[in-house]
Amino acid sequence: MTSDRYMKGLREFKKHFGKAAVAYLQPLEEIYPKFAQVNMEFPFGDLYADHKSLDARTRELVALAALTVLGTLPQMNAHIKAALRCGATETEILEVITQMTAYCGFPLATNALLEAGKAFKEFDDMPKK
Amino acid sequence: MTSDRYMKGLREFKKHFGKAAVAYLQPLEEIYPKFAQVNMEFPFGDLYADHKSLDARTRELVALAALTVLGTLPQMNAHIKAALRCGATETEILEVITQMTAYCGFPLATNALLEAGKAFKEFDDMPKK
Amino acid sequence: MTSDRYMKGLREFKKHFGKAAVAYLQPLEEIYPKFAQVNMEFPFGDLYADHKSLDARTRELVALAALTVLGTLPQMNAHIKAALRCGATETEILEVITQMTAYCGFPLATNALLEAGKAFKEFDDMPKK
Amino acid sequence: MTSDRYMKGLREFKKHFGKAAVAYLQPLEEIYPKFAQVNMEFPFGDLYADHKSLDARTRELVALAALTVLGTLPQMNAHIKAALRCGATETEILEVITQMTAYCGFPLATNALLEAGKAFKEFDDMPKK
Amino acid sequence: MTSDRYMKGLREFKKHFGKAAVAYLQPLEEIYPKFAQVNMEFPFGDLYADHKSLDARTRELVALAALTVLGTLPQMNAHIKAALRCGATETEILEVITQMTAYCGFPLATNALLEAGKAFKEFDDMPKK
Amino acid sequence: MTSDRYMKGLREFKKHFGKAAVAYLQPLEEIYPKFAQVNMEFPFGDLYADHKSLDARTRELVALAALTVLGTLPQMNAHIKAALRCGATETEILEVITQMTAYCGFPLATNALLEAGKAFKEFDDMPKK
């Protein structure tokens, strides 16, 4: 479980999720450690950690597009904050969600926008270090 | 039908779709002119034409993320070429699709990747002006 | 396999699908008769055959909305023709699809619209009795 | 922001959403005014306000079909009430949702049906003017 | 409403849902008895009751795969418990959900996994007869 | 690219895909080697190769459920053959697809069933070694 890929993924994950990283990972570890392991190893270790092909900010913006279409709000919330941590502005995030109205319609985009409102406030209230 | 918004949208659409713009729009015009009209007015006139909030290249990359999740291959093909026209590199496009394996799984991402292979070849064979 | 529900469903199915009914059903029968059976019994025998709660034309229009969101084009094609048989006009069908741009975005709605263009032509060319 | 299209859309929106219109729109305005603007202008100003091609009641019934497939419950709730305001009966709404079992399966249709139960009660308790 | 198919479906449903069966069915009965009826008759009476073609445990495992992709958590919760009742182990359930990361991505699979954590605890606390 | 995980995944992939493995992998390698690499390493090396938690036949049946819901027919075709190679019977495959009518509706299940008809014939015509 403490493979090099896991440690590499965990480091990348913490850059994106900040202080929220531990709270996100803990229930996954408790329910099925293997799930937490592949979650760190594959998306974060294998994909996100490659900054040369695509920078972290762009990776988070395309993730927000996908999450709007999927309609999975807990991950939308987490990745909105991750996008802010990786240098995206609130306006860029809101524009991505607004553009999604043309790709997945207003209902899914509306729910993503309302989540953005919540996530922005929570982010402002978080201790920054 | 030739409202200012339509003309603004059409100009933006042509920047993204290049020589393919007319062939994309024509069947829509034939089947239901109102559909072609709102397609130019809303996504391209209202959303895409705003470059200040989000640049054209980023707009196309987030569109590719959404289209991978949706699984709509004709639009995937068209927007891969649009992304190239707006300054995205082949590697960036392929990385967005590869990152999508973690958001919508391998089957949808695989079909998007195969479409990218086709679209890149077609783009290289297109007259550039 | 020739239960009352099956016969009731088959009669309703033939009202909606007309001369195309046999060709639609035959491959399902060949591959897995049970699938053809439940397809006649449940959606057509149990649901569609109830005209008191909802008329056949409205049933076909809401089916077109669902099929646009699902992106399943062969069924879209079949139900566009069914909608015409049940008294919907081409304009009503095109408006339902156009309205769907606001619910599932332009890519899925575009593919549904292109299928409508095809289905309208095929319907005009079909022997009417 | 107070374009003719916006005012036209807002008027149409208020016909469908009644006294709930302001509460629906306000958080969108607060989070991103542009989103609220295009939400009024495009679906309600450009699409819904056209009653000649498709009447308001049918527009709401096809919207319910789409929303059942999408699984977006807050919009399902709002549009069930809108459908009632536009003249659909409770039975018609429940039949559309029940028909959706054949298009998107029982889990999504069940969640829509439970939302209908809630929305009907809330609608009965709302001040009617 | 008390057709043979309904009674057959209800018996099968009770085998899968145990003591939770009544609480699941009651709101459906209250909102639209026809929905409760077809829910018992079709999936449980026509499909699930056929154990010869596919055993109950495998039926529940493939249902969990589908529910993970659909993202409908109340049904995920109910069918996780149904899978346990039909002989699936916690590990098998968690492996199906983990495998789904490759088919529908991590966000939907994560929400299914968190629901599994809840459902396992609730199942342990339920009276077993 | 020839990591241990890649080799482990490739061996597992070849057990599931048989003689079709090379033809499936080759275009992915040509378009983006990294995609082919993670496709072997993650789903096949990390997930499928674990036979203790879930046997290969059950893994393929739950994959077919997911692929029916997703509507991705090329992967449906490939995994139907993989399911046969891993010991599933034609009836079991057809029952999984038929059960999916209750989870994702008839349109997606119908397209999966038609693909099964094709895949069974192609499988019978393939050289078995």
How sure is the predictor about C128, in pLDDT bands with cuts at 50, 70 and 90? low
Q: What is the pLDDT of residues C61-119, one digit of tens each?
A: 999 999 999 999 999 999 999 999 999 999 999 999 999 999 999 999 999 999 999 99
Kindly tell me if the per-residue pLDDT of D78 is higher than 60.
yes
Under 8 Å between Cβ of F86 and F57 = yes
d(CA B66, CA B64): 5
Residues 6+ apart with CB under 8 A from C62: D61, D62, D64, D65, D96, D99, D100
| Neighbour subunits, C (≥3 Cβ pairs < 8 A) | A, B, D, E, F
Q: Is the entire prediction scored with pTM above 0.90?
A: yes
**Strand positions, DSSP E, chain A:** none
d(CA C91, CA C114): 14
**C-beta atoms of F46 and A42 within 8 A:** yes
Q: How far does the CA of residue B42 sit from the closest CA of chain D (Å)?
A: 7
- With CA atoms as reference, the chain F residue closest to C76 would be F107
Q: What is the pLDDT of residue B129?
A: 58
**C-beta atoms of F113 and C32 within 8 A:** yes
HSE (side-chain half, CA atoms, 13 Å) at F4: 0
Residue the block writes with tokens 């920078």: A55
Under 8 Å between Cβ of F2 and F33 = no
Q: How far does the CA of residue C10 sit from the closest CA of chain F (Å)?
A: 16
Count the neighbouring beta carbons within 10 Å of the beta carbon of residue A129. 5
Residue the block writes with tokens 């982010």: A123
Tokens of A4: 């090099």
d(CA B107, CA A51): 25
Q: What is the pLDDT of residues D83-101, one digit of tens each?
A: 999 999 999 999 999 999 9
Closest CA to E110 of E59, E85, E76, E61: E76
**C-beta atoms of A103 and C106 within 8 A:** yes
Q: At what angle do helices F90-104 and D106-125 cross, to 10 degrees?
A: 10
Q: What is the pLDDT of residue A128?
A: 67
- With CA atoms as reference, the chain F residue closest to D103 would be F105
Kindly tell me if the per-residue pLDDT of A1 is higher than 60.
no
How sure is the predictor about D1, in pLDDT bands with cuts at 50, 70 and 90? low
C22 by Cβ neighbours in 10 Å (0-12 / 13-18 / 19+) ranks as exposed
Q: What is the pLDDT of residue C66?
A: 98
How sure is the predictor about E25, in pLDDT bands with cuts at 50, 70 and 90? very high
**C-beta atoms of A41 and F41 within 8 A:** no
CB burial readout B112-128, b (16+ within 10 A) else e = bbbbbbebbeebeeeee
What homologous superfamily is domain C55-129 in, according to CATH? AhpD-like (1.20.1290.10)
Q: What is the pLDDT of residue F65?
A: 98
Gyration radius of chain F's alpha carbons? 15
Read off the amino acid at residue B24.
Y
**C-beta atoms of E66 and F104 within 8 A:** yes
How sure is the predictor about A3, in pLDDT bands with cuts at 50, 70 and 90? confident
Under 8 Å between Cβ of A115 and A79 = no
Q: What is the DSSP letter of B3?
A: -
Mutation pick from B6, B35, B39, B41 vs chain D, by most beta carbons of D within 10 Å, is B41
How sure is the predictor about C1, in pLDDT bands with cuts at 50, 70 and 90? low
**C-beta atoms of A101 and D38 within 8 A:** yes
CATH class of the region A54-129 = mainly alpha
**C-beta atoms of A107 and C106 within 8 A:** no
d(CA D40, CA D34): 10
DSSP class per residue in F41-105: IIIIIIIIT-TTTS-HHHHHHHHHHHHHHHT-HHHHHHHHHHHHHTT--HHHHHHHHHHHHHHH-
**Can you list the residues of chain F whose pLDDT is less than 70?**
1, 128-129
Main-chain phi, psi angles of B79, to 5 degrees: -80, -20
Within B20-125, residue ranges assigned H as helices are 21-31, 33-39, 56-70, 73-85, 90-104, 106-125
Ranking B21-25, B124-128, E88-92 by mean pLDDT, the lowest is B124-128
d(CA A62, CA D88): 40
Q: What is the pLDDT of residue F9?
A: 97
d(CA D68, CA E60): 23
Query: E35-38: long-range contacts (C-beta < 8 A, 24 or more apart)?
Result: E35/D94, E35/D97, E35/D98, E35/D101, E35/D109, E35/D110, E35/D113, E37/E1, E37/E6, E38/C42, E38/C46, E38/C47, E38/D98, E38/D101
Query: C121-125: long-range contacts (C-beta < 8 A, 24 or more apart)?
Result: C122/C77, C122/C81, C123/C80, C123/C81, C123/C84
Within chain D, residue ranges assigned H as helices are 4-17, 21-31, 33-39, 56-70, 73-85, 90-104, 106-125
Angle at C58 between CA C56 and CA C62, to 5 degrees: 120
DSSP class per residue in A23-45: HHHHHHHHH-HHHHHHHIIIIII
Strand, helix or coil at C13? helix
- CB contacts under 8 A, A 24-63 vs E, are 27-28, 30-32, 34-35, 38-39, 42-43
Count the neighbouring beta carbons within 10 Å of the beta carbon of residue E47. 22
Main-chain phi, psi angles of A86, to 5 degrees: -90, 10
Closest CA to B16 of B53, B59, B54, B52: B59
What homologous superfamily is domain F53-129 in, according to CATH? AhpD-like (1.20.1290.10)
- Average pLDDT score, chain D: 96
DSSP class per residue in E43-72: IIIIIIT-TTTS-HHHHHHHHHHHHHHHT-
CA dihedral (B53, B56, B61, B64) positive or negative? positive
How sure is the predictor about D129, in pLDDT bands with cuts at 50, 70 and 90? low
Read off the amino acid at residue A104.
C
Mutation pick from D68, D100, D103 vs chain F, by most beta carbons of F within 10 Å, is D103
**C-beta atoms of C39 and F114 within 8 A:** no
How sure is the predictor about E128, in pLDDT bands with cuts at 50, 70 and 90? low
Chain F neighbors of C34, CB-CB under 8 A: 94, 98
Q: What is the pLDDT of residue C79?
A: 98
Residues in chain C: 129
Q: What is the pLDDT of residues A91-104, one digit of tens each?
A: 999 999 999 999 99
Q: Domains of chain E: which residue ranges? A: 1-50, 53-129
Closest CA to A13 of A45, A58, A60, A35: A45
Strand, helix or coil at B36? helix
- With CA atoms as reference, the chain E residue closest to D94 would be E32
D72 close to A (CB below 8 A) = yes
Q: What is the pLDDT of residue C127?
A: 76
Answer left, alpha or beta for residue D71, where phi above 0 means left and psi between -120 and 50 means alpha.
Answer: left
Tokens of E63: 């249902």
d(CA E43, CA E59): 11
Main-chain phi, psi angles of E127, to 5 degrees: -65, 130
Strand, helix or coil at D42? helix
Q: What is the pLDDT of residues C7-51, one digit of tens each?
A: 999 999 999 999 999 999 999 999 999 999 999 999 999 999 999
- With CA atoms as reference, the chain B residue closest to F67 would be B107
C-alpha distance across the termini of chain F, in Å: 28
